[in-house]
Structure 1
Amino acid sequence: MSAKKAGLLAGQVALITGSESGIGRETARAFCRQGAAVVLNGLQPARLEATRLALAAEGYQVAACLADVTDYAAAERLIATAIDTFGRLDILVTNASISMRAYFRDMTPEVFRQVLDSNVYGSVFPLKAALPHLVRAKGSVTFISSISALNGMPSGSAYCAGKAALANLAHTLRLELADTGVHFGVVHIGFTQNDPDKRVLDAAGQPVPIAHRSARWQKSQAEVAAIILRHVRRRKRRTVISALGQLILVVHTLLPRLGDWVVRTSQRRLRNFYE
């Protein structure tokens, strides 16, 4: 067995949505390094193919499927790619997401729905299509959420709502499907370095660049990917990334009024800051 295949996930197949770039791409690379065969997914053909070629050139087993995971038929096609190519599916990481920077009162209903759909149905539809295969494998499902799901953030209403929904979805599925042996977990990601060309939606649905962030608040994409990998390997229920994320969780749980006051008084600085 080659060094490329001799890893902790050797023989397993992982599907990572939204893996053509950013955290998803680095998570795919981390899983590949541990021996998994990985199915990539995205919406930009050139970028998706470039990621596939880069990982394949490193000697990893990868396939790719261009699919909008908010469309159920496309999600079914994505899962079929994993089964047709590798014969099984052991791990699903739902990372695909659209973020936003806009106040609720300024947003059009269509933009709110688009952001919410990407974060909720973008996880529900791939999981629904993949569930029979994951049950067969007693596999693992990890929803990528955000620390902004732990405490609401100004200018992120639809994003925060969608990410919070994933945490409750994971809890519910854990209860409903306890006898299947499938792991359901959620990772709350904190402030992370972005690709230079990353865009988020404004109130009118136009893509806009993210404001520069102080490096001291951020983890690299590779660091976050390593945490996601460890979460999946340990089949954890919840992982909250960064000391700041842990602090938000404690304050939100024990001192919610204080947490709200801090967010309100800091919103000018924070509104372009969370992930």
Structure 2
Amino acid sequence: MSDNISGQPLPAAQPVPAGQGAFVGQVAIVTGSESGIGRETARALCAAGAAVVLNGRNAERLEHTRQGFVRAGFAVVSCVADVTDYASCERLVAAAIQAFGRLDVLITNASISQRAYFADMQPEVFQRVFDSNVYGSVYPLKAALPHLTRTRGSVTFISSISALNGMPSGSAYCAGKAALANLAHTLRLELDHTGVHFGIVHVGFTQNDPDKRVLDAAGQPVLIAHRPARWQKTQAEVAAIILRHIRRRRRRTVISALGRLIVVMHTFFPRLGDWIVLTTTRRLRHFYE
């Protein structure tokens, strides 16, 4: 996938706009911000005073998002980049430095999900989903770390409540998201001396864009599994929680009552938790498929 910084060329770093808000003077990269939670998190950061680099793989959709942000008066540039390719991530970080001269916040949100049971999945599909969730965070962070160290910045990995206890039909996705929690913990220990914040947010069921798709066992895009509307938060609500997590430099944030219940069950009553999942798998199969 080729990379391109949208908008007018920026021959030198531009000053981060002044204003009011918790993130005034800060520069953020939000991967996977052409749509969905990533887009709304980027919007919330801009509204809070940050300059933001938007990212995605679909050039048309990314440009549409960028133009909407520009019309709203936000300080943004965009960069088409596949976050599972390290060279692309280097160019993504370079876009932030070229445009704004610094980097304070990295949110690794881009990933691929699935609706497929492990026994049915093609190996290359498992790898594609897993890589998007693990290397899609590792590569942007590796490219950004020197700049984040200079600013004693913040890194937030976007995970899922399904990583807390596993979920049928989500093996590669759950494994990848769970790996991020251990990665964040390890980096906090290794890089404590840098002052960089490493956190993880476990997102619960969230309203999706109408064209949201996940991969089936053969790697074909299909609609996401049904979720009752009463269980879902809006993308804007999730974005607000993510910003609060970053502002408070929290280690872990679990979104939704269901997510917190999963933590309790997994920690203190793991067998009961598994029984509940197995029972719902049999009785509410459409919930997973």
TM range (shorter): over 0.9
Separation in 2 of the partners of 1:268 and 1:54?
A: 44
Counterpart in the other structure of 2:101: 87
Structure 1 residue 73 and structure 2 residue 95: aligned? no
Structure 2 stretches of 5 or more lacking a match?
1-16
| SS of aligned partner of 1:184 | strand
| SS of aligned partner of 1:29 | helix
Question: How has the CA–CA distance of structure 1 residues 82 and 129 changed in structure 2, closer, same or farther, with 3 Å as cutoff?
Answer: same
Q: Is the 8 A contact 1:96 1:118 kept in 2?
A: yes
Separation in 2 of the partners of 1:60 and 1:212?
A: 34
Deviates more, 1:25-34 or 1:211-220: 211-220
Alpha-carbon shift at residue 6 of structure 1 (Å) = 1.4
Separation in 2 of the partners of 1:43 and 1:65?
A: 9
The TM-score, its normalising length taken from structure 1, stands at 0.96
Q: Is the 8 A contact 2:63 2:78 kept in 1?
A: yes
| Aligned partner of 2:165 among 151, 163, 168 | 151
Structure 1 residue 122 and structure 2 residue 150: aligned? no
Counterpart in the other structure of 2:21: 7
Q: Is the 8 A contact 1:4 1:33 kept in 2?
A: no
Structure 1 residue 17 and structure 2 residue 31: aligned? yes
Separation in 1 of the partners of 2:134 and 2:283?
A: 27
AA aligned to 1:157 is S
Alpha-carbon shift at residue 211 of structure 1 (Å) = 3.5
Question: How has the CA–CA distance of structure 1 residues 200 and 118 changed in structure 2, closer, same or farther, with 3 Å as cutoff?
Answer: same
AA aligned to 1:161 is A
Q: Is the 8 A contact 2:18 2:25 kept in 1?
A: no
Question: How has the CA–CA distance of structure 1 residues 92 and 268 changed in structure 2, closer, same or farther, with 3 Å as cutoff?
Answer: farther
Counterpart in the other structure of 2:114: 100
Aligned length: 272
AA aligned to 1:64 is S
Give aligned-pair identity as a percent: 76
Q: Is the 8 A contact 1:16 1:38 kept in 2?
A: yes
Question: How has the CA–CA distance of structure 1 residues 244 and 195 changed in structure 2, closer, same or farther, with 3 Å as cutoff?
Answer: same
AA aligned to 1:149 is A
What is the 5 A alignment of 1:165-244? 165-244=179-258
Deviates more, 1:251-260 or 1:207-216: 207-216
Structure 1 stretches of 5 or more lacking a match?
none
| SS of aligned partner of 2:95 | helix
Alignment RMSD: 1.4
The TM-score, its normalising length taken from structure 2, stands at 0.92
